[in-house]
Amino acid sequence: MRNEIAIFRKKKDLTQQQLAEIVGVSVGHICKIENGQKNASLYLLLDIADALDTTVGELIPGIF
């Protein structure tokens, strides 16, 4: 999941700070998710997927 979020975020030309502001969490939280140090809740994943114009399934390949 962590690499996919970073990939989709960069495709949207967003910084971690910008994504964090959009979904309402700290930049440190986004950084930890992307680095695999923290797991995102389902609700946060839904918000991230929406912000990145994708689906949770795209962010977590093989889960669905």
Q: What is the pLDDT of residues 23-64, one digit of tens each?
A: 999 999 999 999 989 999 999 999 999 999 999 999 987 665
pLDDT for position 20: 98
Contacts of 16 (CB under 8 A, 6+ apart): 9, 27, 30, 31, 34
- Residue 60's pLDDT is what? 87
Q: Is 24 left (phi over 0), alpha (psi -120 to 50) or beta?
A: left
Chain centroid to CA 28: 12
* Assigned token pair, 16: 């971690």
